[in-house]
Amino acid sequence: MNPDYEKSKLFTRRALLLAGGQGAFMLALVGRMYYLQIVESKKYAMLAEENRINLRLLPPPRGRIVDRFGVPLAVNRQSYRVDIVAERTGKSTRERKRKVKETLAALSTIIPLSEADARRVLREIGRKRAFVPITVRKTLTWEEVARIEVNTPDLPGITIAEGTVRHYPLGQAGAHVLGYVAAVSEAEQTGDPLLELPDIRIGKNGIEKVFDAPLRGEAGTQQIEVNAHGRIIKELSREDAKPGQEVALTIDADLQRFIADRLGEESAIAVVMDVHGGQVMALSSNPGYDPTAFHDGLDPELWRAWRRDPKKPLISKAVAGQYAPGSVFKMCVALAALEAGIIGRYHRVSCYGHTQLGSSRFHCWKRGGHGTVDLHEAIKQSCDVFFYDVARRLGVDRLADMARRLGLGRSVGIDLHGERSGFIPTRAWKLATLGEPWQDGESLVAGIGQGFVLTTPLQLAVMMSRLVNGGKAVTPHIAHRLVTAEGLAPRPAPDFASIGVRPENLRILANAMNGVVNEPGGTARRGQLSEEGMSMGGKTGTSQVRRITREERARGVKKNEDLPWELRDHGLFVGYGPVEDPRYVVAVVLEHGGSSKYAVPIARDIMRETLSRDPLQPRPTGEAAAPAGARGT
């Protein structure tokens, strides 16, 4: 066989195989191109369009919070920040880095700029595209903005951007009512795209949290055209965001501010409440905190300082502080005994400064005693021995029943988070919880508001309201509008049920509380109002923190004021006014005040201001008008 022929035949087969392979490859390529360009054309056209046109969410303005007269309590304030765009500082990457450093150095001579901020900006410049603005510093003052604008020619890449921050005109005075807003945490993400926006803030406490959804509003949309690098070319369409709804409160802003000023540096709580409708006119827990500090992230050092502060500025003590009510609780004991028929109006007890129960001696606050007193004098002079006798006859279970009817020992349902229920003991509770039977001596201690008994300042205001409003089970609220399917609607007029006590017994107690303030020998005589048309009744109380030990007495510690501040007793006073036609209740707790005598003048001044302002009445023409649904019900 001819070798040349064999070689030619082999070459021809290989050429055919190669040509066949190329043909198959071309056929597959053409088929793939057909599939992509014809069969899948709509899909990839849509993807290309999505790369070219972006849809962005626009954050909505947060709704305002206003007081009962329409005075702003929480609003959005325009803020300014300074950004830098690396692309505008130079052409090459090396030149941009050098220019950015020079710009930041020049900027630091115009406004305060920390080294940490400068390092952060340089890191972000290296990570992000050159045309993306990098925030250098937030919350500039108007003077800082002006200085930057004047020096803009010498600050390449620097721009001023606008935004909003939440502003609280009452400052610390309204912090525990209004709460604050802060960035959304990972745990708070619900899948709502609005919550993923970097500038969105949500309510974390107080009214801001309770009404966060209606206050938040609805996001808008912006359709923009971008190039392959993500640079914005132009805006194609926009649908503006829907602002959040306005929330009106029962609070009187001026009264709230007055109370904060009156409390001053004291660690104290004050509540002002409408006795018939349950509207809370003021709710102050002092000291407060700066609610704006949370907007851009709380400084760790400030957080640690607040946490270490013995006056606990972060806690809304009006609803979350639990205190032994002391002698204020005697009103509950008296009403329970009158209703049970255990005592009458003229029941008398002889007080020699103490009473004996077995081997235990229970002392009255007044050494030497009050002599023989009836119910009126026992309340007026706050005689402990009288109420030891009544509590022993009454028993803790009947006392607990009346306490709950007066709003103690359970949540009162205020429109705020963090409310605590206080505590009212019973025989069954002690046996089930501690495995021990109730002792008669514990009834005596409970009869003067000590021992296991705990209440909140707001509950004391509720108790006093029910005592002077004819026995109606009024409950407090702080929001004039409620969330409904249609949004925020005015709160309906209240229709409170009766607590089931006899009116004549309430009159006996009201007459005695009038004596506490307005008769000689009353424990709150310094709370008497001298202005015409103004009057106040009420009840004093001292909440014991601890007894002065025998060793401390040997060292010369004879009275509460001699102890360190944190070991002193709390001073309480709960009053109502006017006496003839009660409309308002004032509850004051002065933490570690040592005695109720220091709480009484505070309550007197608050009641005077409340009666003078009479916030249940509309303001005269010319003052801020209340928004719809915000006036008294």
pLDDT (tens digit per residue) in 381-393: 999 999 999 999 9
Q: Report if residue 33 sits inside a domain.
A: no
Asked if residue 418 and residue 390 are part of one domain, the reply reads yes
Q: 144, 227 in Cβ contact below 8 A? A: no
How many other CB atoms are there within 10 angstroms of residue 256's CB atom? Answer: 24
Structure tokens at 499: 């607590």
Structure tokens at 197: 């926006």
Q: 372 pairs with which residues across the strands?
A: 350
Q: Which residues of 164-195 are buried (b: 16+ CB within 10 A; e: fewer)?
A: ebbbbebebbbbbbbbbbbbbeeeeeeeeebb
Which segment of 204-213, 454-463, 554-563, 580-589 scores lowest on mean pLDDT? 554-563
Structure tokens at 144: 């800082």
Structure tokens at 342: 């255990």
Asked if residue 569 and residue 546 are part of one domain, the reply reads yes
Q: Report if residue 398 sits inside a domain.
A: yes
Integer Cα distance of 21 and 579 in angstroms: 107
Find all residues with CB under 8 Å of 48, minimum gap 6, and list them: none
Asked if residue 175 and residue 137 are part of one domain, the reply reads no
Integer Cα distance of 98 and 467 in angstroms: 75
Asked if residue 369 and residue 243 are part of one domain, the reply reads no
Asked if residue 530 and residue 433 are part of one domain, the reply reads yes
The mean pLDDT of 439-460, rounded to a whole number, is 95
Q: Position of tokens 């036609």?
A: 581
Q: What percent of the chain has pLDDT over 90?
A: 53
For 594, the domain range is: 253-288+318-479+495-613
Q: Report if residue 127 sits inside a domain.
A: yes
Q: 580, 591 in Cβ contact below 8 A? A: no
Structure tokens at 295: 């907007």
Asked if residue 89 and residue 221 are part of one domain, the reply reads no
pLDDT (tens digit per residue) in 230-275: 555 666 767 777 888 999 999 999 999 999 999 999 999 999 999 9
Integer Cα distance of 306 and 478 in angstroms: 26
Structure tokens at 280: 């809370």
Q: What percent of the chain has pLDDT over 70?
A: 84
Q: Position of tokens 């309906």?
A: 492
Question: Given pLDDT bands bounded at 50, 70 and 90, which one contains residue 3?
Answer: low
Which segment of 113-122, 152-161, 434-443, 557-566 scores lowest on mean pLDDT? 557-566
pLDDT for 98: 87
Question: Given pLDDT bands bounded at 50, 70 and 90, which one contains residue 63?
Answer: very high
Q: Report if residue 210 sits inside a domain.
A: yes
Classify residue 419 as left (phi > 0), alpha (psi -120 to 50) or beta. beta
Q: Is the pLDDT of residue 123 over 90?
A: no
pLDDT (tens digit per residue) in 313-338: 999 999 999 999 999 999 999 999 99
The amino acid that residue 283 corresponds to is L
Asked if residue 136 and residue 190 are part of one domain, the reply reads no
Integer Cα distance of 178 and 63 in angstroms: 13
How many other CB atoms are there within 10 angstroms of residue 44's CB atom? Answer: 11
Q: 490, 258 in Cβ contact below 8 A? A: no
pLDDT (tens digit per residue) in 525-581: 999 998 998 999 999 999 887 665 556 555 555 566 667 767 888 999 999 999 999
Q: Report if residue 405 sits inside a domain.
A: yes
How many other CB atoms are there within 10 angstroms of residue 523's CB atom? Answer: 26
Q: Report if residue 485 sits inside a domain.
A: no
Question: Given pLDDT bands bounded at 50, 70 and 90, which one contains residue 494?
Answer: confident
Asked if residue 339 and residue 281 are part of one domain, the reply reads yes
Structure tokens at 543: 């909440």
Asked if residue 61 and residue 143 are part of one domain, the reply reads no
Q: 199, 219 in Cβ contact below 8 A? A: no
CATH code assigned at 511? 3.40.710.10
pLDDT for 533: 87
Instruction: Choose the final residue of a domain: 145, 161, 177.
Output: 161
Q: Which long-range contacts (CB under 8 A, 24 or more apart) does 51-54 make?
A: 51/226, 51/228, 52/225, 52/226, 53/223, 53/224, 53/225, 53/226, 53/236, 54/223, 54/224, 54/225, 54/226
Q: Report if residue 24 sits inside a domain.
A: no
Q: CA triplet 68, 70, 74: central angle to 5 degrees? A: 95
Instruction: Choose the final residue of a domain: 190, 224, 249.
Output: 249
Asked if residue 364 and residue 261 are part of one domain, the reply reads yes
Asked if residue 533 and residue 460 are part of one domain, the reply reads yes
Instruction: Choose the final residue of a domain: 143, 161, 179.
Output: 161
In DSSP notation, 267-299 reads: -EEEEEEETTT-BEEEEEEES---GGGGTT---
Q: Position of tokens 């009264």?
A: 255
Q: 443, 358 in Cβ contact below 8 A? A: no
Q: 533, 596 in Cβ contact below 8 A? A: no
Asked if residue 99 and residue 243 are part of one domain, the reply reads no
CATH code assigned at 193? 3.90.1310.10
Report phi then psi at 335, rounded to 5: -65, -40
Domain count, the chain: 3
Could you give the residue ranges of the DSSP H alpha helices within 76-189?
93-107, 115-127, 142-150, 175-178
The model's pTM is 0.81
Is the peptide bond preceding residue 287 cis, with omega within 30 degrees of 0? yes
Q: Report if residue 226 sits inside a domain.
A: yes
